[in-house]
Amino acid sequence: MNPLYYSLLHVFSLFVLTAHTFMAFANPAPENRKRTMMITGIATLLVLISGFGLLAKLHQNQFSGWVIVKLICWLGFSMLAGIAFRRPHLRSQLALASLFLILTALVMVYLVRFAAAA
Ligand code: HEM
């Protein structure tokens, strides 16, 4: 499959994951929990699948440092919506942690990975 499709899926599922994670921070009402956990669960799986698709197509499945850092960011970010429902009083710290994890993953792609290629 053309890596552009993986790229599209990667970025789109990241948008969905981010939007629904921040919806959980804004309103962690128990009645929203099931739906949010389902949507973030599917989106996070698609981020991972498309990420590994890109890794296979563009990097011959080579695990460089930047990929490992992204995996750690992905793992951390994927857990935060669930934590928001169990510990709603931590929402502002969780939102800050989300921004940090997203920024770190973006730095890995746009600064570390592209700098290595230049
Ligand atoms: C918080 C998590 C993540 C964020 C915010 C993120 C973000 C991005 C973005 C914005 C791109 C650039 C897409 C493009 O230019 O077309 C990208 C590419 C990529 N991502 Fe992720 N990603 C995340 C998680 C992952 C995970 C878990 C993997 C697993 C292997 C992964 C592997 C890759 C690969 C291989 C590329 C292609 C890099 C290249 O063009 O050489 N990402 N990611």
CA of 107 to the centre of ligand 1 (A): 10
Residue 1 confidence (pLDDT) above 80: yes
Q: How many CB atoms lie within 10 A of CB 47?
A: 24
Query: Rounded mean pLDDT of 78-102?
Result: 98
CA of 79 to the centre of ligand 1 (A): 18
Q: How many domains does the chain have?
A: 1
Residue 88 confidence (pLDDT) above 80: yes
Position 37 scores a pLDDT of 98
Position 27 scores a pLDDT of 96
DSSP string, 43-84: HHHHHHHHHHHHHHHHHTT---HHHHHHHHHHHHHHHHHHHH
Position 118 scores a pLDDT of 63
Q: Name the DSSP class of 90.
A: G
Pocket probe for ligand 1: among 70, 73, 79, 114, the residue whose CB has the most ligand atoms within 8 Å is: 70
Query: Containing domain of residue 86, as a range?
Result: 3-117
Position 114 scores a pLDDT of 76
Q: Read off the pTM.
A: 0.95
